[in-house]
Amino acid sequence: RMSRHAQQLRDHDINPCVAETDASRKCMDDNNYNKDMCTAYFLKYRSCRKFWHDIMMQRRRNGVKPEMPSAEERKKMLESMG
């Protein structure tokens, strides 16, 4: 059974970067944990985290709850950005 923290990391409403996390992990598995082979995945993950962290901080400053938009709301936000 997963810990509560592990479950939250798998929850798309809490963690906006589940896909990037999975892709990085798969790359590491596929390349015998050679980090050099997975740089592009790590960069995508980092930019995902930074992007949503900035949105979360902006919402916190503006008093918007929840601070992290739901998975559905994030999808709409990304679509509206093109």
Residue 49 is predicted with a pLDDT of: 96
- Reduce the secondary structure of 28-53 to three states and give it as a string: HHHCCCCHHHHHHHHHHHHHHHHHHH
Strands (E), the chain: none
Domain that holds residue 56: 4-80
Residue 69 is predicted with a pLDDT of: 95
List per-residue pLDDT tens for the chain, 82 residues long: 778 888 888 888 889 999 999 999 999 999 999 999 999 999 999 999 999 999 999 999 999 999 999 999 999 999 999 8
Return d(Cα 30, Cα 44) in angstroms, integer: 18
> 33 is written with which tokens?
């944990």
The total of structural domains in the chain comes to: 1
Residue 82 is predicted with a pLDDT of: 84
Q: Are 14 and 21 in contact (CB under 8 A)?
A: no
